[in-house]
């Protein structure tokens, strides 16, 4: 903001305050632990409407997802209609005839929060109106509707500087005064982990997910990625994550076509790596197996651990990898991943494998410190005083929770 010099002369001290806007900040405390919710894109693409979103809100409560910690119901691309004569964005009157405010009220009445989607360019990835040049106006519209979460995409942004574009929307959200979680969706193209911690609460680290184990699914000019390719792209990123700033591995594909074993591994890896847990399946018709995975209290507790330390790859033995996540009260979660297509027997002699983590400053010498472990999915227990052996299913994981003895 600039002021006329004469005005500045007379009222310098007062106007210094008015004319120099304080540096904007994102809203803190919205994602002290990774956000949990549901998003429409993976299952519904552009087929979103208010009836389905209302049903999903009801299913989120009835299925036990809300009780397990899922909070946000996020409408992805394609809710948009056109802008009115003053440039205000409106919901598509055919698919959202009651309007966004009514939908927000419905969702809030069930103790849930509503998220919305926009894009830093002129158009969204599906060709709906983006927020470019309308950032403050759109943020204000969302705030007036009572929106709680903004996912902000990166299509149609040729020539725009990403950090500036996301700063503008961060500032626009801040200026509304309504705390809205800001989810940056820039696919990791410009290393958002290096510049987005003060802008948003999470940033996508990769392109879009696809429900497969190790495939890449080509869409011509880009491909979507299975569980293992997304996992491998997290290398080197854990130091950027922490309370309020998460590496987002994308909305989950649990219940969307992979095997139960693969779904369990996918969910466990996202939980261990402190990714936001955003379900992407149809909650109205999910199987018991899918529901049990998504609501697993032991895995959710690991993801939502107060310290917010992302797991590190501790041991790499080719097809078997071992991840470790430091937890509150001196505990740890240890995940054994079998990437292979056949089961693998695995033996870990704790005494020969110390752990040192420069990022959290934590270390373990199992000769000096003993832990009790509990198998989070299968329920067994034991101690690090004896060698651990397990048969890891093909494409499967075993997760142990260690507590100091
Ligand atoms: C991009 C995003 C997806 C989804 C679609 C919507 O591909 O990465 O998560 O939001 O756009 O068009």
For the four alpha carbons of 324, 202, 162 and 127, in that order, the dihedral sign comes to positive
CATH of residue 27: 3.20.20.70
Catalytic annotation, residues:
153, 208
Task: Tell how far the Cα of 56 is from the centroid of ligand 1, in angstroms.
Answer: 20
What's residue 303's pLDDT? 99
Q: Is 5 exposed, middle or buried (0-12, 13-18, 19+ CB in 10 A)?
A: exposed
48 and 109 assigned to the same domain: yes
Which atom from ligand 1 is nearest to the alpha carbon of 151? 10
Q: How many domains does the chain have?
A: 2
Q: Residue of the nearest CA to atom 3 in ligand 1?
A: 208
pLDDT band at 7 (very low <50, low <70, confident <90, very high): very low
399 and 382 assigned to the same domain: yes
Q: What is the mean pLDDT of residues 280-303?
A: 98
Task: Tell how far the Cα of 46 is from the centroid of ligand 1, in angstroms.
Answer: 10
Which atom from ligand 1 is nearest to the alpha carbon of 76? 10
Q: In the chain, how many H helices and how many E strands?
A: 12, 22
Task: Tell how far the Cα of 353 is from the centroid of ligand 1, in angstroms.
Answer: 41
287 and 328 assigned to the same domain: no
134 CB neighbour count, 10 Å cutoff:
19
> What's the whole-number average pLDDT of the chain?
95
91 and 19 assigned to the same domain: yes
Which atom from ligand 1 is nearest to the alpha carbon of 125? 12
Which atom from ligand 1 is nearest to the alpha carbon of 41? 4
Q: What is the mean pLDDT of residues 373-398?
A: 98
**Residue 214: inside a domain, yes or no?**
yes
Q: What is the mean pLDDT of residues 107-111?
A: 98
317 and 299 assigned to the same domain: no
Task: Tell how far the Cα of 42 is from the centroid of ligand 1, in angstroms.
Answer: 9
128 and 269 assigned to the same domain: yes
Q: What is the mean pLDDT of residues 243-262?
A: 98
Testing ligand 1's pocket by substitution, the residue of 124, 151, 208, 211 carrying the most ligand atoms inside 8 A of its CB is 208
- Residues 314-358 have pLDDT tens digits of 999 999 999 999 999 999 999 999 999 999 999 999 999 999 999
Domain stops at, among 303, 330, 365? 303
317 and 271 assigned to the same domain: no
**Residue 130: inside a domain, yes or no?**
yes
- Residues 206-223 have pLDDT tens digits of 999 999 999 999 999 889
225 and 293 assigned to the same domain: yes
Q: 138: which residues sit within 8 A by CB, 6+ positions away?
A: 89, 118, 131, 172
Task: Tell how far the Cα of 185 is from the centroid of ligand 1, in angstroms.
Answer: 8
pLDDT band at 24 (very low <50, low <70, confident <90, very high): confident
Does 93 score more than 80 pLDDT? yes
Q: Residue of the nearest CA to atom 6 in ligand 1?
A: 77
Which atom from ligand 1 is nearest to the alpha carbon of 204? 8
382 and 268 assigned to the same domain: no
Task: Tell how far the Cα of 208 is from the centroid of ligand 1, in angstroms.
Answer: 7
What's residue 227's pLDDT? 98
C-alpha distance from residue 268 to each of 16, 214, 280, 289, 303 (Å)? 52, 16, 15, 14, 9
Per-residue buried b or exposed e for 228-243, using 16+ beta carbons within 10 Å of the residue's own CB: bbbbebbeebbebbbb
Residues in the chain: 405
pLDDT band at 302 (very low <50, low <70, confident <90, very high): very high
What's residue 403's pLDDT? 98
CATH of residue 357: 2.60.40.1180
Q: What is the mean pLDDT of residues 94-102?
A: 98
Q: What's the number of CA atoms in the CB half-sphere (13 Å) around residue 161?
A: 5
Q: Residue of the nearest CA to atom 9 in ligand 1?
A: 208
For the four alpha carbons of 233, 234, 237 and 240, in that order, the dihedral sign comes to positive
Domain stops at, among 279, 303, 327? 303
Contacts 24+ apart (CB under 8 A), 290-295: 290/254, 290/255, 290/263, 291/63, 291/64, 291/65, 293/254, 293/255, 293/260, 293/263, 293/264, 293/267, 294/65, 294/68, 294/70, 294/252, 294/254, 294/255, 294/267, 295/63, 295/64, 295/65, 295/67, 295/68
What's residue 23's pLDDT? 66
Q: What is the mean pLDDT of residues 33-58?
A: 98
**Residue 1: inside a domain, yes or no?**
no
Does 19 score more than 90 pLDDT? no
Task: Tell how far the Cα of 11 is from the centroid of ligand 1, in angstroms.
Answer: 49
As a whole-number percent, the residues of the chain with pLDDT over 70 amount to: 94
Does 96 score more than 70 pLDDT? yes
335 and 207 assigned to the same domain: no
Testing ligand 1's pocket by substitution, the residue of 38, 46, 47, 76 carrying the most ligand atoms inside 8 A of its CB is 76
* Bigger pLDDT: 35 vs 7: 35
21 CB neighbour count, 10 Å cutoff:
10
Domain stops at, among 259, 282, 303? 303
48 and 112 assigned to the same domain: yes
Which atom from ligand 1 is nearest to the alpha carbon of 124? 12
pLDDT band at 171 (very low <50, low <70, confident <90, very high): very high
Testing ligand 1's pocket by substitution, the residue of 185, 187, 221, 249 carrying the most ligand atoms inside 8 A of its CB is 185
Q: What is the pTM of this model?
A: 0.94
Testing ligand 1's pocket by substitution, the residue of 37, 38, 41, 279 carrying the most ligand atoms inside 8 A of its CB is 41
193 and 214 assigned to the same domain: yes
- Measure the CA angle with vertex 259, ends 253 and 260; round to 5°: 85
Q: What is the 3-state composition of the chain as percent helix, strand, coil, each rounded to the nearest 5?
A: 30, 25, 45
What's residue 146's pLDDT? 98
pLDDT band at 281 (very low <50, low <70, confident <90, very high): very high
Ligand 1 is surrounded, with C-beta below 6 A, by 41, 76-77, 124-126, 153, 185, 208
Residue ranges making up the domain that contains 387: 312-404
Task: Tell how far the Cα of 292 is from the centroid of ligand 1, in angstroms.
Answer: 27
Q: Residue of the nearest CA to atom 8 in ligand 1?
A: 208
Contacts 24+ apart (CB under 8 A), 97-100: 97/50, 98/50, 100/145, 100/147
């Amino acid at each position: 903001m600039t002021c006329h010099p004469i005005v500045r002369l007379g009222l310098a001290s007062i106007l210094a305050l008015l004319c120099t806007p304080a540096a904007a900040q994102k809203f803190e405390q919205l994602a002290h632990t990774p956000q949990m919710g549901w998003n429409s894109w993976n299952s519904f693409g552009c087929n979103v409407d208010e009836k389905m979103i209302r049903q999903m809100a009801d299913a989120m409560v009835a299925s036990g997802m809300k009780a397990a910690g899922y909070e946000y119901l996020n409408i992805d691309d394609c809710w948009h209609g056109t802008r009115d004569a003053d440039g205000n964005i409106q919901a598509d009157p055919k698919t959202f005839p009651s309007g966004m405010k009514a939908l927000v009220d419905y969702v809030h009445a069930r103790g849930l929060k509503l998220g919305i989607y926009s894009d830093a360019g002129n158009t969204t990835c599906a060709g709906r109106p983006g927020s470019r040049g309308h950032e403050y106006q759109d943020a204000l519209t969302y705030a007036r509707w009572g929106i709680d979460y903004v996912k902000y995409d990166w299509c149609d942004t040729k020539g725009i500087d990403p950090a500036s574009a996301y700063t503008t929307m961060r500032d626009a959200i801040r200026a509304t005064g309504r705390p809205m979680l800001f989810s940056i969706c820039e696919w990791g193209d410009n290393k958002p982990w290096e510049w987005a911690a003060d802008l948003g609460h999470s940033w996508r680290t990769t392109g879009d997910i696809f429900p497969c184990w190790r495939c890449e699914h080509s869409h011509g000019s880009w491909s979507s990625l299975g569980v293992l390719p997304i996992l491998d792209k997290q290398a080197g990123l854990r130091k950027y994550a922490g309370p309020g700033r998460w590496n987002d591995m994308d909305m989950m594909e649990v219940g969307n076509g992979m095997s139960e074993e693969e779904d369990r591994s996918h969910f466990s890896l996202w939980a261990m790596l402190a990714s936001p847990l955003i379900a992407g399946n149809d909650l109205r018709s999910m199987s018991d197996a899918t529901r049990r995975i998504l609501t697993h209290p032991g895995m959710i507790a690991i993801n939502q651990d107060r310290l917010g330390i992302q797991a590190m790859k501790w041991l790499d033995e080719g097809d078997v990898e071992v991840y470790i996540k430091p937890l509150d009260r001196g505990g740890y979660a240890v995940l054994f991943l079998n990437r292979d297509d056949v089961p693998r027997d695995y033996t870990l002699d704790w005494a020969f494998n110390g752990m040192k983590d420069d990022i959290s400053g934590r270390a373990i010498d199992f000769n000096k410190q003993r832990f009790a472990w509990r198998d989070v999915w299968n329920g067994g227990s034991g101690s690090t005083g004896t060698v651990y052996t397990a048969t890891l299913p093909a494409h499967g994981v075993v997760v142990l929770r260690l507590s100091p003895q």
